[in-house]
Each structure stands twice: as structure tokens, then as C-alpha cells.
Structure 1
Amino acid sequence: MKLNGPISHSYLDDGKEEEETQAKEVSSAAVRVVVGYALTSKKKKSFLKPKFIRLARNKGIEFVPIDLKRPLSEQGPFDVILHKLAGKDWSQVIVDYKRVHPEVIVLDPPDAIQHLRNRQSMLEVVADLELPDHYGKVCIPRQLVIPKDPTSIPDEVAKAGLRVPLVVKPLVVDGSAKSHELFLAYDHFSLSELETPMVLQEFVNHGGVLFKVFIVGESIKVVRRFSLPDVTNCDLTKISGVFRFPRVSSAAASADNVDLDPSIAVILITAEPPPPPLLEVLARELHHRLGLRLFNIDVIRKNGTKDMYYVIDINYFPGYGKMPEYEHIFTDFLLNLVQSEHKK
């Protein structure tokens, strides 16, 4: 789908037919696009896969690593800079380079990415949206920020009227493994064991299914993921303490994984994603508000409802390697982006 309407792509399987198509793309590629990239080693491994690099090259796109030990001004020329590095120093490098080379497309501006470094501010953007509810209602969980003293949590939670269980997330998202550590708390007092600053969110029962909505420019791709099971009132009377989340965004939790328990796979396969028009409006509005082209939205549907959805997280430059057919979607995005900028 696209932000301005649904879109369907016909993707070829590996084999002779794809090779012939790629050969035609080589001969017909009118534009040579140079993409300078600055990515962590983990991101390079998951994103710049050999198949993706081959397809990009066949379409006239070349990925060139940026040497972080040399001034960026001495490298290039680039048509696009693709980056996902944290830190004020790197952000300043990009800002300075863009000032001298305004024609270069930066994916994405550091100040725009900064909105997603804070879990409180990222969801407040969603809460401020005034979306039509023709296709469903989009909400965020009730949440509370604990900036420093964890001993104040019981009183703060009581004042805010939050109910357990509570999802606990680090406030700052800096790309580290620690910033992605999530917990589920069944009582207020156990929260004092965790490190601040943190965000507490009310857990919303959602049938154990998470929808990862990947956005690449105007293209949208939805992937189902296994999530935490619902919490019953009986569970709340029997369980206490704080428990670490499993990584629900893992590709191993996909309905496409043949080793997944059959009963779980059925739940995933039969879970109906949010309506495309709803996702198109949501993605378009977030694109305008955030100023980002590359991000994903984690969405759940409140159990027992047909059209009440909650956005629980937004991530910049997510794991596109887990998104089906990302090679074609991303290369088309880069070509269209450069061509549209040249027309301007």
C-alpha cells in the first residue's frame, strides 16, 4: 500500500526469471545513485544483505561506506546519505554537511530522528493527531514518566490512576540493547528494583498479536508478530513482581516461521491487520509531524474490539531486513526519491 492509496507490487521469485528482469534493469537504468551509508555493524549485517546489494546495483544504485575517521566533506559525492548513528557529534557532522551540500538527501534529518529517542515524546505525537475514526480509533496507552527516584513510583502510579499490569520501558532510545529492555510489572512496589528514567504504560490486552507497520517513504508493509498473552484478573491475584519481556519483534515470532507452534501460527495468520486506509492516514500524518521517511509503528488491537487500536512504539530505521520484499521496496524508494528531488 501507499500513503496516498493502496498499491500492489508483483515480485519475482529467485531464479532465471528474476535474473532476466534484473539484466533488463541494468541496461535501462538511466540514473546512477550513490548512497553513502553510516550504520552500526549490526545494522549493516541485517540491512545490506548480498541479495539487496545485487538488486540495487542492477538498478543503478551503489552503496558506499562512509569512513567515520575522515571528514565527511572529503568523501563522496553522494546523492543520498543513509545513517543510523547516535550522538551529538555525528548529528553535527550531518548538519554541517547538509549546510554545504543542500542538494544531498539525508535519510533522515538528525533533529527529526531525535523525536523518537524519547518514548514519552514519540507517543505524545500520536496523541496529538486528530484522525478521522471512519476506519477505527487510534489511541496510545495511558503512561507515566518516572525521571529519577524509583521509590516514588507507588505514589506516582496511584496519583495517575494507572492500573497494573504495567509495561516498563527505558525512557531514552539510543540504539543500545539496554534501551530495548522491556518489563511487565504486576505490582507497583517491585518497580523500585528497576533503573530510571523509565516510562510506565498500562498493559492493553490484545490477543497476543502485534502488528509491525513498516514505512518506507510512501510504501507501507504490515507484518504480524507474536506478542504477550492477555492478562486475566485471575493472573493479577496470583502473580507479583517484575518480569522481563521476550523480544516480541523478533523475526522468529513471525507467522512465516515454519518452526512456530501451530496453535500460535494460526492466531497470527488469522489476525486481521488494521484497515489499509487507517494505516495510510496514520503513516502520512506521522510522516508530516515527525519529518521522517523511514520508520515503523508497533500497533495492537484492543482485545474484544474490532476497531480500537493502540500505538505502543515508533522506531526509526527499523529492521527492514525482516520485512518481506524489502529489497524491491527500498530500491524503488531510493530511485523515486532521487528522481523527484532532481525534478525540483
Structure 2
Amino acid sequence: MGRGALHTSRFGPVSSALSPFSGDYSSRHPRMVVMNPLPSWRLLHDRLGAQKVAKEIVNLLKDPDIIVPNRVYLESTGVENTVKYLEEAGVTFPFVCKSSSKMHLEHHRMTLVFGRRGLKDLDLPCSAESYANHSGILHKLYVIGETHFVYGRPSLKNFAMSDDRSNVIFSTSDVAKADSVSPLNAGKHGEPTSQTRPVSANKISRISEMMRRVLGSSLVGIDVIVQDGTGKHVIIDINDFPGYHEVGIRKFQTALLQLLRTGPCNCFGSQEGNKSS
């Protein structure tokens, strides 16, 4: 139930594409309804593009409790230059460095930098973003048209700034899968403290709806964490055509059939996206 297509020539009166067909294919099948427009697909396969989408969602929602981490793209070498760019962008220690491309074989590989000492060892270029403590709980939001599901997953533990600690290189596939067991994560149920705040169903619903309006996409995954203390909902990633294994076959099929009946979102991005496709 991951990336793929519904291989059928007709579903009711129109064909429905669930995978990123070429623009040529779409132009030869004008009645085909594209669930995830090609421009949006391309955008989300670039980490910087996905970050821009998240930022736009936050700006449009105008909710001070829904945010994105402070981020900056680092490509110049030299500790002094790096410090300058981090300070200008408001990126604080600890921060996470991520590959700029999601198409790279090691796009799940990231580096946690605790203090200035680790700057000299960074593998540039990378996207650096402030790390928000969240009691080791990641909320995976699966969007299927107007339906969405949220599942909690293990995530990185709470960390503090430290100039004495070396960088930690990790893979999200090792620390943030449903069954992940790692010294870096907080286990299946996280590490609740007095600072832990619950996820808001209302905020999740608004994030899901605005994402559809911005992208015009109907099958998307969003990673959200809830910042300790403040309760702010932080959008840390958006993925096109996520795996829906946690949702389960029956729920996925029901939501997908409903989506095929109602059609994709007639939103900001969808009309332009389908024309571009």
C-alpha cells in the first residue's frame, strides 16, 4: 500500500491515477483525474521544497501553536561561516542536519549536532533545523482525501545543548519506525514528563486540510511532533505517497474508495497541478 498506481482503465466515468504519470500520459488522457499532481510530487521529493510547503501551510493557518522548526541550508565550509548562518536563521543547538534531496539513497541518514564542537564535522551541504524536545513521540499523519489517520511512533529522546558531546549520526528507519528499538529513541510509548503535551485532533485536522489545499494532493503523509512545555505542533516533514501499513488494509480501502467517489481536492494547487501534469 505504498507508492503505486490503480491499474484500471475505468473507475466510474473517469480514470484515476495514483502514481506520478508523465505529463505526456496525462495530456493524452484529459479525463483522467490525478490524485497527486506532478508539480506537487516533484516538490515533495526535494527536502527544501517540502520545507517550503510546510512553511506555507503554517503561514496560511495563522495559528501560533502550529509551526515549523527554524531552518537554514548550509553549503559553505568553515565553522565561523556556519555559526553566522545558524544565528541569522535562528537555528539553535541541538539541531538536525538532513540531506537536501529525498531521492538520495541515504536520505534517511541524519546528523544530530549538540554544540559548536560538532560543526567542523558536518557533511555539507545539508539542511539544518532546530531540534525540539517532544518526549520521544512522533505523530504520523496519513492523509487519504478528506480522511486522515494519526498514529504515534517512537522518536528521538529529549536532548540538550552540549559542547562536550560529539555528533550522532542516525537513520530515521532505525529510530522512528513503529517497532524501532534504539538507544537514541524513547521506546514505543515515549518518555512522558510533566512537560509532555497531548496532540490536538483539531490542529491535526486543520493541518491535513490546509495541506490538501496548498498541494492539491490527496495521498500524503505528514510528520508532526508536539513540543514539550509549549504544546506547539511542529511540522517536521511531508511525504508524497507514504506507506499506509499502519492504517490497515480495510481502513485504507474504505478511505480510498471514498476518495475515488468524491474525486481529488479542488483546491489551490490541484487545478494548476493537473494542467501542468
| TM-superposition CA deviations, 1:122-173 (whole Å, max 9, x none) | 233333333254xx71011111012x33334233224434321110111111
1:170 touches 1:179 (CA, 8 Å); kept in 2? yes
User: What is the one-letter code of the residue matched to 2:40?
Assistant: A
2:136 touches 2:187 (CA, 8 Å); kept in 1? no
1:252 aligns with 2:179: yes
**Residue 100 of structure 1: aligned partner:** 28
1:209 touches 1:300 (CA, 8 Å); kept in 2? yes
Aligned-residue identity in percent = 24
**Residue 11 of structure 1: aligned partner:** none
1:239 aligns with 2:162: no
2:96 touches 2:130 (CA, 8 Å); kept in 1? yes
2:100 touches 2:126 (CA, 8 Å); kept in 1? yes
**Residue 253 of structure 2: aligned partner:** 331
**Residue 202 of structure 1: aligned partner:** 130
| TM-superposition CA deviations, 1:75-114 (whole Å, max 9, x none) | x635222226xxxxxxxx6211111212122232111112
1:229 aligns with 2:229: no
Residue among 83, 92, 96 paired with 1:154: 83
Structure 1 ranges of 4+ moved more than 6 A: 268-272
2:144 touches 2:259 (CA, 8 Å); kept in 1? no
Give 1:246 shift: 4.6
Structure ranking higher in helix proportion: 1
Measured in 2, the distance between the counterparts of 1:107 and 1:280 equals: 19
Residue among 206, 227, 240 paired with 1:316: 240
2:154 touches 2:178 (CA, 8 Å); kept in 1? no
**How do 1:249-288 and structure 2 match up within 5 A?**
249-253=176-180, 264-267=187-190, 273-288=198-213
Residue among 96, 99, 102 paired with 1:170: 99
**Residue 130 of structure 1: aligned partner:** 60
Measured in 2, the distance between the counterparts of 1:249 and 1:186 equals: 20
Q: Larger radius of gyration, structure 1 or 2? A: 1
User: What is the one-letter code of the residue matched to 1:95?
Assistant: G
Measured in 2, the distance between the counterparts of 1:237 and 1:149 equals: 21
1:157 touches 1:188 (CA, 8 Å); kept in 2? no
Instruction: Give secondary structure in 1 for the equivalent of 2:92.
Output: coil
1:182 aligns with 2:110: yes
Q: Tell me, which stretches of 5 or more residues in structure 1 are unaligned?
A: 1-43, 49-61, 65-75, 85-92, 255-262
Give 1:301 shift: 0.9
Give 1:181 shift: 1.3
Give 1:266 shift: 4.4
TM-score (norm 2): 0.77
Give 1:231 shift: 1.2
Instruction: Give secondary structure in 1 for the equivalent of 2:259.
Output: helix
Measured in 2, the distance between the counterparts of 1:223 and 1:215 equals: 12
**Residue 229 of structure 2: aligned partner:** 304
Q: Which of 1 and 2 has higher RCO (CA within 8 Å, sep 6+)? A: 2
Q: 1:250 to 1:155 in 2, by over 3 A?
A: same
1:80 aligns with 2:49: no
Give 1:335 shift: 2.6
Instruction: Give secondary structure in 1 for the equivalent of 2:179.
Output: helix
Instruction: Give secondary structure in 2 for the equivalent of 1:111.
Output: helix
* Aligned positions, number: 249
